[in-house]
Amino acid sequence: MQSQFETLLVELDGPVAVVTINRPKALNALNQKVLEELLALGNSLRTSPAVRAVVLTGAGEKAFVAGADIAAMAAMQPAEALGFAELGHRVMDGLESLPQPVIAAVNGFALGGGLELAMACDILLASESARFGQPEVSIGVMPGFGGSQRLPRRVSFGAAAEILLSGDSFPAAEALRLGLVNRVLPLADLLPEAKKLAHKIASRAPVAVQKTKQALHASRQGPLSEGNATERQLFSDLFATADQKEGMTAFLQKRPPTYTGQ
């Protein structure tokens, strides 16, 4: 797996990759370079079966990601802004469609493109200090990396409307109440807890985990009948894996399973 980047730190902890966006002086804002590197990392993770779960976080104690880089966007004309948004969307779609589950450890500000990035992850955990929002309308724009589409799929339509249209930010406790994040933890516990969850996921049958993620995302894309058809097919596919035989045999023999990812 590619692990050398200018703006990302990638640490391998057994089957778990911990990715840190590393521009703390700009509160980890997403510029062209960060987006290109996230895209490259996604492509590399996609073909790294030894990595079974990913944790994504931000460098420093202040921010996860404070948004797309405003300095980089300030002078853009529409065509350039379209290219920037297309790149951002490729990054978010790429992250969301990774075979491995991705956990966002939101360790501070997750604003604009930062919240969009967190919402492209499967599971969000937050520190008590985290702050969320889509403040784009307060600087003359709107979400450009999927926020107007993913937020109403994560919280109620009304809550999404208020967040998107007011531009107000809100604390972790409110994100928990809205169901945007699964847990709120003291900052010191956030990364250990995210890694613990990632390791638990990585200990499960890898192909079963991947197909479950695929079915989960299918639930948001089409009618129930299509999602159920996808589920039936993926379920039956698993019966061609060695890990299905191992998991069920181990259960019946009352011993822990040993999965190979086959």
What positions carry a catalytic annotation? 116, 136
127 forms part of the interface with ligand CAA (CB under 6 A): no
Q: What minimum distance in Å lies between the beta carbon of 44 and ligand CAA?
A: 24
58 forms part of the interface with ligand CAA (CB under 6 A): no
27 forms part of the interface with ligand CAA (CB under 6 A): yes
Nearer to ligand CAA, 142 or 215 (CB): 142
Contact 29, 65 (CB under 8 A): yes
Q: Which of residues 75-94 bind ligand CAA (CB under 6 A)?
A: 88
Cβ-based neighbour number of residue 15 at 10 Å: 19
109 forms part of the interface with ligand CAA (CB under 6 A): yes
Contact 137, 168 (CB under 8 A): no
Q: What minimum distance in Å lies between the beta carbon of 247 and ligand CAA?
A: 41
What one-character DSSP code corresponds to residue 47? T
Torsion of the alpha carbons at 107, 108, 109 and 113, rounded to the nearest 10: -10
Task: Kindly provide the residue ranges of all beta strands, DSSP E only, lying in the chain, ordered along the sequence.
Answer: 8-13, 16-21, 53-58, 63-65, 102-106, 109-111, 123-127, 131-133, 169-171, 183-185
247 forms part of the interface with ligand CAA (CB under 6 A): no
Q: Give SS3 for 250.
A: helix
Nearer to ligand CAA, 141 or 250 (CB): 141
**CA–CA separation, 68 and 85 (whole Å):** 10
64 forms part of the interface with ligand CAA (CB under 6 A): no
Q: Which of residues 168-197 bind ligand CAA (CB under 6 A)?
A: none
Q: Please select the residue that binds ligand CAA; options are 17, 54, 55, 69, rule is CB under 6 A.
A: 69
**CA–CA separation, 94 and 251 (whole Å):** 35
Q: Please select the residue that binds ligand CAA; options are 29, 54, 202, 208, rule is CB under 6 A.
A: 29
67 forms part of the interface with ligand CAA (CB under 6 A): yes
143 forms part of the interface with ligand CAA (CB under 6 A): yes
Tell the burial category of 77 from Cβ atoms under 10 Å away from its Cβ (0-12, 13-18, 19+): exposed
Binding site for ligand CAA (CB under 6 A): 26-27, 29, 66-71, 88, 109, 111-113, 116, 135-136, 139, 141, 143-145, 147
